[in-house]
Amino acid sequence: MLQVLKDKSYTDYYSNGFVETDISLPEDLVDEIKGHYLAKSRGHNDFLKFFANNEHQAYLEGNAIGFFINAFPKTAKKMVKKFYDKAYNKAVYCEQAYIEKVLAYLLENGFQKLFRTRYIVASYDMYLRNGHDSPAAGIHTDLPNFHHLYETENDLSLFIPLVDLDDENGGRLSVLPEDKLRIPGNVLLKLLYEHFSQAPECLDENGYIESDRITPSQLAAFVKTKPHQDLMAVYKGATSLAKKSYAGDFKRTVETKGKVLMFNNKNFHAAEQWKNESIDREIYVIRMVPIYDARIKLKSTLHGTPVNNVLIDLEEGTIRRFDGPVDLATIPEAEKLKL
């Protein structure tokens, strides 16, 4: 992350777990976002699409439910699905509706000053809504998965509450700072490259891995490899350490409606129970991915919707939207982070 963020924001991130941008979106933009998602039907939950293939396995295997999953995989999967169905009464992914508007506002207000790296990809957006009857999200890391494929240990999320998250309402985010415990993620990109660069049918003419060409059976074979299994064991171990040894070290934020917070969703985090019975908790998130020198292309879609199509130039303070995913081969090598 030292390569991604400037000294002050890096220090905030390292010791506090999150970076306050000190920028709040204008009230009318926040209301516009709320209005947009109000039109989506209640119960719409894209989160469940992540349950096809692998996913969350290491996280779940770390506790009692893990044993249950191994013994009764079908019933357990249904139970997990049910849990996430209850966790959000609306979860909408990849509308890509407000990425440019939000980033344009941030860049007008000095957002780029937080960064050392020149480019970052705005991968996709999401809207999450839950009520007081939803279970709070416990301690977890957003584990990498093959739906995204290109993920790093330094992915950054813009976390924008559309309602106040405070003592009265609850729903506050808390994060375990990196100076307490971190888990490796970039090594997964290395492993993916090492594995799939051996499959000529997955490579383009420049030797880049075409993420969209990797088949489910090829992924299943990768999952079984020793290095990947070793990494899953690391995730599992770290998750149990975070819960057992660091539960008291999470830093909590207080966020007002529209205030933009940045955090690394690969670091352990949790959300407090939502307490307000008369309104729902609503969050808008933009997931950003720093660019590394891994010769792996970004995926063009997530569950059928175009993603990875916005490039932010943090030196010029500009945003560019492409028809397809940002072509990482066009980014000068000197501007890429070293894996």
Tokens 């990768």 correspond to 222
CA dist 198 → 152, 206, 212, 273, 299 (Å): 22, 14, 16, 47, 19
Task: Compute the least distance from the CB of residue 283 to Fe ion, in Å.
Answer: 11
Closest-CB residue for Fe ion?
A: 142
Q: By C-beta, is 195 or 282 nearer to Fe ion? A: 282
Residue count, binding to Fe ion (CB under 5 A): 1
Identify the residue among 46, 95, 125, 142 touching Fe ion (CB under 5 A). 142
Instruction: Return d(Cα 14, Cα 270) in angstroms, integer.
Output: 17
Element holding 281 (H helix, E strand): strand 281-290
Nearest to 291 by CA among 320, 262, 313, 276: 313
Q: By C-beta, is 51 or 105 nearer to Fe ion? A: 51
Task: Compute the least distance from the CB of residue 326 to Fe ion, in Å.
Answer: 24
Region from 136-144, 215-223, 242-250, 285-293 binding Fe ion, contact rule CB under 5 A:
136-144
Nearest to 129 by CA among 85, 81, 82, 79: 85
Region from 91-99, 106-114, 138-146, 164-172 binding Fe ion, contact rule CB under 5 A:
138-146
Token pair in block for residue 241: 């350490």
Task: Compute the least distance from the CB of residue 142 to Fe ion, in Å.
Answer: 4
Task: Compute the least distance from the CB of residue 265 to Fe ion, in Å.
Answer: 5
Region from 142-150, 183-191, 315-323, 329-337 binding Fe ion, contact rule CB under 5 A:
142-150
Residue 280 binds to Fe ion (criterion: CB under 5 A): no
Q: By C-beta, is 59 or 146 nearer to Fe ion? A: 59
Strand partners, 5: 115
Enumerate residues 6+ apart whose C-beta is below 8 A from 64. none
Task: State the residues that interact with Fe ion by CB under 5 A.
Answer: 142
